[in-house]
Amino acid sequence: MGVSAVYKFQVDATETLALSEDLAADVPMLFQINGAGVATPTLTATTSPPVTKAWGDDVTLSGGAVTLDLAALVRAVLPNVDFTGLKVQLIHIKAAAANTAALKFDVGASNGYGIFGSATSEISLDADDEAAFFFNDKLPDVAAGAKDIDVSSSDVDAKFKIVLVAG
């Protein structure tokens, strides 16, 4: 089994400024962050950082909560995925447009994994929000005491899509 992950983070924002009535046309200003200067990076088992496992799912909260156990990520048909001994390198989350309240992604209450870089890190995504992170080998290894991500919402059956890539 081989894993490769292609990712591209890019934001292009253009602001057109009316600087002077003497100019023939307004002046567009482009602000850009483009994948740390790399066109379309591909991560594999032999790159730095490496990636060797991937998991993704459409998740529905039950009673307003779910815990993602990075040592036992469930798949409906294929075998479960275990990230033990690996670092999460990429994460992409997309909240469903129909959600009626924000989703909160947080370090697990027990055996917490600091998915956003620290033991107290968390993010919230409102309906139709999206977030993607590349950690470049900075997060800790998934282990028995560091493996859980808690997701909660006051929308008891909120939904989100998630992709995790580790190596």
CATH numbers and ranges of domains, the chain: 5-37 (no CATH), 48-166 (2.60.120.770)
Checking if the pLDDT of 21 tops 60, the result is no
Q: Using CA atoms, how far apart are residues 15 and 105, in angstroms rounded to an integer? A: 33
Q: What is the pLDDT of residue 76?
A: 81
β-pairing, 148-152 with 65-69? antiparallel
* Per-residue pLDDT tens digits for 77-110: 888 999 999 999 999 999 999 999 999 999 999 9
pLDDT higher for 22 or 110? 110
Checking if the pLDDT of 11 tops 70, the result is no
Name the pLDDT band for 130 (thresholds 50, 70, 90).
very high
How is residue 35 written in tokens?
């994948």
Q: Using CA atoms, how far apart are residues 1 and 53, in angstroms rounded to an integer? A: 9
Q: Tell which phi-psi region holds residue 78, choosing left (phi > 0), alpha (psi between -120 and 50) or beta.
A: beta
Q: What is the pLDDT of residue 137?
A: 93
Fill in the amino acid letter for 107.
V
Q: Using CA atoms, how far apart are residues 119 and 1, in angstroms rounded to an integer? A: 32
Q: Using CA atoms, how far apart are residues 107 and 12, in angstroms rounded to an integer? A: 31
Checking if the pLDDT of 19 tops 90, the result is no
Burial class of residue 148 (count of CB atoms within 10 Å of its CB; 0-12, 13-18, 19+): buried
Closest CA to 164 of 36, 65, 75: 75
Give ∠ CA 95-98-103 in degrees, rounded to 5: 40
Q: Using CA atoms, how far apart are residues 94 and 128, in angstroms rounded to an integer? A: 7
Q: What pTM does this model have?
A: 0.83
SS3 state of residue 35: helix
